Chain A
Amino acid sequence: MRCELELFEEYDDINFYSVRFEGETELEIEKFFLKFSSGSKYDRDFNKIIGWIDKIAEKGCLSRYFRPEGKYEDGVSAIPIEGNKIRLYCVRITDEILILGNGDVKNVQRWQEDPVLKSFVENLIKLKQKIDNRIKRGKVFISGKEISGNLIFDI
């Protein structure tokens, strides 16, 4: 699947990015937001995620705020709201760069048990590996809160 990394929101000290798959009109994070319309039974959980995103925008993507999903080196985290039924998956690149992926209601013990959640996490794991490789090869550059270079990936 071909996808492109795009700027989602920009703040003074950090940038949020997300992924747009080829031929799709929405970014992965936008699909997540559109999934939970206002007034749904998950309103409170969803609102806590928005509150968390806003706080990260203010404080930075410090590693201690993230809960690793899968292996630590995979670099994928779930936005860790305790007691929350909704999971939003993301990749922390640096303290200034966060890639927001997709997410959904988690009704299983482990994300590996849900094919939808599994695809969200695995796509992000692959994306993170590709980004790391390109950074090493000098094809993708990190400068402060910006990521640049060839941001089209086949995952």
Chain B
Amino acid sequence: MKRSKILEERRKSLPKDIKIFISLSFSIVDRIHFILEEQGKSQKELAELLGKKESEISRWMRGNHNFTLETIAKIQAALDKIVIDVPIEEKEYKLVKTTITNRIELPEMQIYDRNNVLNESCKYEFKTSVLAWNKSAKCKKNSVGTFN
């Protein structure tokens, strides 16, 4: 495969953060594009949902927009789908689970992870915890159904 010597030389000094920035921005717009296709929505409809002009959405979708977290949150809310997902390390995850278990007295509470998505693992943990509470007669059994 032919490569340019001049470009290859410049690639060697390409900063890692720029590679990551470009990669992330492309991934985000590709993800939004995928969701729009999946939901049969156009960029114009997304613009309407966000109260923006279609031209602004087109500009975002070119793969190098510096999205703010606020914008991503608005897109995520408008499309009701995860746009970006931040991994939770095992150590951090245990803390989340502990917090959930401690808050078990609120039967109508739903367990969402930090991306605002119902977390299956958390739900399971929550259910297990409720069952444990049932055994010790601290919670009514029908509370479990609320969380499924």
Contacts and interface: CB of A to CB of B under 8 A. Distances in A.
B40 to A, nearest CB: 17
B21 A82 contact: no
Nearest to B62: A80
Contacts of A66: 62
B117 interface: no
27 contacts: A7-B2, A8-B4, A9-B3, A9-B4, A9-B7, A10-B1, A10-B2, A12-B1, A44-B18, A46-B10, A47-B14, A47-B18, A50-B11, A50-B14, A51-B22, A54-B19, A54-B22, A55-B22, A55-B26, A64-B61, A66-B62, A67-B62, A80-B59, A80-B63, A81-B64, A82-B66, A83-B66
Given A50-B14, A51-B18, A55-B63, 19 more contacts: A7-B2, A9-B3, A9-B4, A10-B1, A10-B3, A12-B1, A30-B4, A33-B4, A38-B13, A46-B10, A47-B10, A47-B15, A51-B14, A51-B19, A51-B21, A52-B22, A64-B61, A80-B64, A82-B59
Contacts of B11: 50, 54
B29 to A, nearest CB: 8
B65 interface: yes
B6 interface: yes
Interface of B: 1-4, 6-7, 10-11, 13-15, 18-19, 21-23, 26, 29-30, 33, 58-59, 61-66
Interface string A27-67: 00110011000100000101110111111000100001111
Contact of A59 (B2, B26, B61): B26
Contacts of B3: 9-10
A39 to B, nearest CB: 9
B84 to A, nearest CB: 17
Contacts of B4: 8-9, 29-30, 33
Contacts of A9: 1-4, 7
B23 A55 contact: yes
Contacts, number: 77
Given A9-B7, A38-B13, A82-B59, A48 B2 contact: no
Given A51-B22, A55-B23, A64 B33 contact: yes
Interface in A1-28: 7-12
Contacts of A53: 7
Closest 7 CB pairs of A and B: A51-B22, A10-B2, A10-B1, A80-B62, A33-B6, A65-B63, A47-B18
Given A47-B18, A48-B18, A51-B22, A34 B63 contact: no
Contacts of A50: 7, 10-11, 14
Given A38-B13, A47-B18, A55-B23, A33 B7 contact: yes
